[in-house]
Structure 1
Amino acid sequence: GINIFHIAVGTGGPNAYANTLDFVSKWNSFLAGQDERFMRIDSPGDLDRVKKSGKIGIILGLQNSEHFRTAADVDYFYGLGQRVSQLTYNSRNYIGDGSTERTNNGLSDFGVTIVGRMNQIGMAVDVSHCGEQTSIDACGVSKKPVLITHANARALNPQQPRTKSDDAIRAMAKTGGVMGITGVRMFVKGDEPTTIENYLDHFDHVARLVGVEHIGVGSDIDLDGYDDMPPEENKRLRASYKGSYGFRDKIDIEGVDHPKRMFDLTEGLIRRKYSDDNIRGILGGNFRRVLAEIWTVPPVAKAASQ
């Protein structure tokens, strides 16, 4: 079964710092009161300990880094348990451009500073929602592996802004990073029919392009999926994104729209002739390896700015 969840959400706007502090604090409060069932994942050792404990591991991440007003804020939120930070959400911030911006500017000087501090302290750099040039620039300046925790291949869905070009995927792989493939219907394919086979095509494309060691699962969907949401909540979700997202009648893909979909994905990977070792890597081993590398930082580096 699933041992660890990365519970990142997108925060931002004029109250980004306060909103993010509220989000992280509430999760820490919840975890403190549920320690017999859940465990916050803070270190490489925790990735092993949580599996042996029988608990569910929670990785605190954010899908926007707008709460980093200065490099010192990276340290502060690291101290609160944040271990992954996406540089931008879909819109521009002081760090760089998001994937649905009409421009394609790259990483700012401030963004270079933030990435550098994240590398030093051991916080993973995520570029899933970042624009093309911001994604490539982040890979160019990072001294640690860069993650694309949840996206799809642009070569298979060229008009979708939440996909990554082959150039961006190669740049990620050059850092030693991993790309998680989403099962979101309009990210997987731009028209109908859209099936689990189209979803599997994205795994194949990235494997052929950069190697299976750079692939993971980044479902971008909770256990029950989007289409089971209450109608009004679903309507609000769709209204919060630009038209370029290309919502259709359904957001989930039949066959991988239920809590046990990892079994269906595994069967699909077996059909596509992936080896057992490769499947273990895709289902978590690759992310585990890379997160351990990112989070392993000499104590002197963490203390450098103090």
Structure 2
Amino acid sequence: MALLAMAGATTAGAQARASGGGMRRDRLIGDSVVVDMLAPLSLDLGPAPYARTLTAEEAQAFRSSGVTVMHNAAGVGGPDAQTRVLGYLAGWNGFIAAHADLFLLARRVGDFDRAKATGRIAVIMGVQNADHFRSPKDVAQFHQLGQRCAQLTYNSQNLLGAGATERVDGGLSDFGAAVIEQMNAVGMLVDVSHCGDRTTLDAIEASKGPIAITHTNCRALVPGHPRLKTDEAIRKAAAKGGVIGISGVRNFVRGEEPTSVEHIVDHIDHVVRIAGIDHVGLGSDSDLNGYDRMAPDQLAKLKAGYASSYGFRQRLDTDGYDHPRRLFDLTDALIRRGYTDAQIRAVLGGNFRRLLGEVWK
């Protein structure tokens, strides 16, 4: 499939939503450094989605998205993880360099401002796993290669701890604690989005500084979902200065229909109530067009890679959050919900910017 499946992809309904009014919304997005802490540049499951050139239409979709910073990360694990992550970083770094008029690699928070000032998007390189760290010393090597964020686990058990869908969560291992220590030392963000409950709490406690839950939602609103975080985890992450990024994946947003942007804001409201406005941000967990426009065979392959407890329904994208300008719709919803300008700027990116400024030494 095309990198963003852009050709003919934007529906008339999405275009109408995107082109609607909203001077306050447009001003807020225009003035903000908007950070999406899980926004893969592509959901293409092919061997090298970075080995191509964007079309003019695809490039315009990025430019008009309102996003200043995208965290590009994929789940890479297994015995050959180190080799695969090296190829992943090299490929995407090459893609960013080949599209230097549109993207720049984010190595420090100052790059966010540079991207905003030049009309580009800063790309944070991350990995949704830590299998490629064969020893704690590897953290520094991958930091030098541009990696700035690492999840400790994906959905299953690895040497660091347990993933969210493991049957038993034994918590953070000694090796996991040693890796966190090195991540703290070099300035790489610790991410526990896919960790099991005990591993999540152990990691928050083990880290000397704040951690992130870059893309999750609140289990209190979707009871029983293993990939979502408990109020205890959200509070403890926030108490250490962490930020929780709210996802737009449909089965994370609501356990029943309908499922709309308003229900995404319900999760933002919940984090604000239990942890405060300074600890919530955005982590869409999809590329600009979402999952439902993937080629059917790729979408089926993607779903097959997850446990049944994920609870996938017919659609994966939330209504109104399935097009390149989705953050405009979300900002409209925050305005309707009564958030102030300062609060909306914090959610759109201010909170993650503060966190990354503290972690990226």
Q: How many residue pairs get matched? A: 296
Q: Structure 2: how far apart are the matches of 1:2 and 1:193?
A: 27
1:18-37 aligned at under 5 Å gives the runs: 18-37=83-102
Q: Structure 2: how far apart are the matches of 1:193 and 1:31?
A: 38
SS in 1 for 2:245: strand
| Equivalent residue, structure 2, for 1:224 | 289
Residue 34 of structure 1 deviates from its aligned partner by: 2.6
| Equivalent residue, structure 2, for 1:299 | none
| Equivalent residue, structure 2, for 1:152 | 217
| Equivalent residue, structure 2, for 1:187 | 252
Residue 119 of structure 1 deviates from its aligned partner by: 0.3
SS in 2 for 1:39: strand
Q: What's the TM-score, normalizing by structure 1?
A: 0.95
| Equivalent residue, structure 2, for 1:134 | 199
Gaps spanning 5+ residues in structure 1: where? 297-306
| Equivalent residue, structure 1, for 2:103 | 38
Say if 2:327 is the partner of 1:262: yes
Residue 195 of structure 1 deviates from its aligned partner by: 2.2
Larger relative CO (CA 8 A, sep 6+): 1 or 2?
2
| Equivalent residue, structure 2, for 1:300 | none
| Equivalent residue, structure 1, for 2:128 | 63
Contact 2:68 2:112 in 1 (8 A): no
Residue 287 of structure 1 deviates from its aligned partner by: 0.5
Amino acid corresponding to residue 222 of structure 1 in structure 2: D
Contact 1:12 1:67 in 2 (8 A): yes
Residue 295 of structure 1 deviates from its aligned partner by: 0.3
Contact 2:126 2:147 in 1 (8 A): yes
| Equivalent residue, structure 2, for 1:9 | 74
Moved over 3 A (4+): none
Question: Once the two structures are aligned, what percentage of the paired residues are identical?
Answer: 53
Say if 2:171 is the partner of 1:106: yes
Contact 1:159 1:190 in 2 (8 A): no
| Equivalent residue, structure 2, for 1:241 | 306
Q: Structure 2: how far apart are the matches of 1:222 and 1:139?
A: 28
Contact 2:160 2:172 in 1 (8 A): yes
Amino acid corresponding to residue 34 of structure 1 in structure 2: H
Residue 211 of structure 1 deviates from its aligned partner by: 0.2
Q: What's the TM-score, normalizing by structure 2?
A: 0.81
Gaps spanning 5+ residues in structure 2: where? 1-65
Contact 1:151 1:179 in 2 (8 A): yes
| Residues 183-236 of structure 1: per-residue CA shift (max 9 Å, x gap) | 111011112222222221100000000001100010001111111111111111
Q: Structure 2: how far apart are the matches of 1:22 and 1:264?
A: 36
CA-based RMSD: 0.9
Q: Structure 1: how far apart are the matches of 2:247 and 2:98?
A: 31
